[in-house]
Each structure stands twice: as C-alpha cells, then as structure tokens.
Structure 1
Amino acid sequence: MGLDKKELIVQTATNLFRKKGYLGVGISEILTECNLSKGGFYHHFPNGKEELLITCLNSMNEVITQDIKEIFGRYQTTQAAIQAMLEELIIQFDRDETIIGYTFNSIVSEIGSVSERVREACEDSFTKIQEIYSAKLMADGYSKEEANSFALMMTATIEGGIMLCLTKKTSEPLQTIASLLPNTLKVVE
C-alpha cells in the first residue's frame, strides 16, 4: 500500500528541504514532485509551507529519537551506546554521502529566517535527543546536573560533526568524534 497524500507531501518536502534548505524549496516544486494541486496542498497544510516544515521536523524527530532509543537500549553504558551510534552514523555517511534522518542541520541552518514556531519545533527535537542521552548518563551514575551538561555537549558535538561531514563530504569529522567523545565519559562507580 502506498503513502497517503499527506505522508507523501511530508516525505517529499523533507527530502527537498534536506537538499536545498527551507528557503530553496518553493511550494510549486513540492506540488510538482507530489503531482498535487495548490488546493490539495492547502487541504493538508492550511497554514502553508511553515506548517509543512514543522510537520517534517516533528516526523524527523520521531524517527531520530526512536533510532537513538533503540541504540541506547542495546548497550549497558552511555560510552558503549555513543560509540555504537557514531559508528552507525559513519557507516551511513560513507555509504550514502548523507545521514538520512539526522540532518536537521540543513533545514535548521536557516532558523534566523523562519518563525518562532519553527524554532520551537527544532528546540523540542534537540531537547528530546538530550533527554535520551541524559537518562542513560544518570543510569551510569552521573548526577542529574552532570548528565544534563554532558548530554548538551554530546548533542552539540554530534550535530556539529554531522554538519562538518556534509560540508566536507567526508565522514572524517564523525570518525574523529567517535575516537574522542566516548573517552570523555568517565565510568562512575
């Protein structure tokens, strides 16, 4: 069974936003790619392109957080889980020359030119990722304050690494992060 029209629009727009950025994609391009009329588009997204972007970000967030939860659930420690996650990201980048699902960066890089609602959707996504990291760190014995600080650092480091991989067209930044980041996490006894 195929995608329903709304899912098709979200999937198509997400791919276009990743490739061209939010400002680089017009409604007409989305309509053409989806073989859809303006009326059909506005039926699903009455508030237009911004509403579509927020839906795309929320959809990506669900996929990303589920992936991270699954990886972190398979490993005893944060150190092992972060190492495994980084290795999976490196393999995906080397294979696909992108990191599908994890690339908020190309969409979010234009955040200054979009609305507060979009900024809040992005913030929510990063907050959920940090909460997964923080929970695992607390399970490892870190205090809540330490766990939150390390979770922020991990999120910023990995997101920055992804952006550098996309910009440099090499997985080397994530490889470097994979060799260093897990070692910054102490084992709490």
Structure 2
Amino acid sequence: MDTKSLIVDIATNLFQQKGYKGVGLNEILKECNITKGALYHHFPNGKEELLIACLQSMNESITASIEGIFRGYPTTLEASQAMLEKLVDDFDREGTITGYTFTSIVSEMASLSDSIRIACSLLYTNIQGIYSNKLEEDGFSKEKAYSTALMMTATIEGGIMLCLTQNTSDPLKMISSVLPNLLKK
C-alpha cells in the first residue's frame, strides 16, 4: 500500500471511531508512522483535505459493497434484507458497524465546510441511487422509487446510529422486519 493510501485508510478508521475533531494530526502521524512533512506532501491543505479524501474512499467502498449486494438479489426487498443481515451480523460480531456510516462526521463537520458537506452528500446520493434503480427494476414508478429510496436511506442510516448508541443490533432487525411493508407497490 502506498503512503497516501495508508494515510487515508488509517485516518478513515480514526475519524470513524473518534470524529473529526476528536482526532489530532499528531495522532494520525503517530498511527501512520510518518512525518508532518509526509502528510502535507500528500495533503497540502491539511486535515480537511485528508477528511475529504477519507470520505471519497468511504464513498467508493460503501457504494461498491451495496452495489455488490444489490446485484446479487432479484428484488429490492431481498437485497435490502441481505444488506441488513450483513450489518446485523457485523454489529453482533464486532460490537460496532464501521465502513457503512459516517453520520458522526456529517453532524460534526457538514455545517462548517461546504466541501465536506458535498462529499458527504455524494455518498447518500449514491446509496439512494442504488436503491432507487433497484426499485425501478421491481416495477416502481420513478417518483415512487425515488421517495422510497430516500426513506430507505434515512431509515437504514438512522438504524445504524441507533445500534451504535443503544449497543444492540435490534434497531436494524426491526427495520428488516418492517421493510416488506415499505416496499409494497
């Protein structure tokens, strides 16, 4: 792994665990075992530029994961339930869900930086697009697919945050059980 990718990978994990403000540059440098000069060589505008690179990396990873799941199932309901089952299994195994959410970063930073807000918005737009496209394949009208996909995005993201704050996978299990009602045409 090259130095820039290593920095992004480690910083992403730190930002997810502690939030943007909870992670100092010195901690990133120490975890990456690099100098400040090396960090600024790859990210001349500093920590915010690094965060945007982390968000872009998460966007690619999360989008690819969701697309892979949704390609593997014939209907939105089956794909959604498989994805929720994966999230529940991840939570039950690891006690957390990393790599599928960055709501804490959004709530902490989106109002302070337009470029961060845009990077965060892009991920949610991509997720909603995956859901919407699959719903259209299932026969939903474009408008109904869009609104249902928005509801799914908000519900699943909220469910992840509830799992983390309540320290249980029950919220995602509940979402999975009521999802069939949401996906009726």
Alignment-derived partner of residue 68 in structure 1: 66
1:107 and 1:120 map into 2 onto residues whose CA distance is 12
What does residue 117 of structure 2 align with? 119
| CA–CA distance in structure 1, aligned partners of residues 58 and 166 of structure 2 | 23
Q: Which residue of the partner structure matches residue 110 of structure 1?
A: 108
Aligned mate of 1:86, from 84, 87, 103: 84
Q: Secondary structure at the match of 1:162?
A: helix
* TM-score, normalising length: structure 2: 0.97
Partner letter of residue 61 of structure 2?
V
Question: What is the RMSD computed on CA atoms of the aligned residues?
Answer: 1.1
2:148 match: 150
Q: Using the alignment, how far apart are the partners of 2:79 and 2:110 within structure 1?
A: 33
Indicate conservation of the 8 Å contact 1:80/1:182, yes or no. Answer: no
1:23 maps to amino acid: K
Aligned 1:18-29 pairs, distance under 5 A? 18-29=16-27
* Aligned equivalent of 2:5: 7
Count of residue pairs the alignment pairs up = 185
Q: Which runs of 5+ in 1 are unaligned?
A: none
Separation in 2 of the partners of 1:27 and 1:116? Answer: 21
Residue 112 of structure 1 and its aligned partner are, at CA, apart by 4.5
Query: Which residue identity does 1:140 align to in structure 2?
Result: D
Moved over 4 A (4+): none
Cα deviation, 1:64-88, whole Å, max 9, x if unaligned, reads 1111111111111111111111011
Name the counterpart of 2:157: 159
Q: Deviations over 1:76-127 (max 9, x none)?
A: 1111111111011100110011112102122222035530000000000000
What letter matches 1:32 in structure 2? K
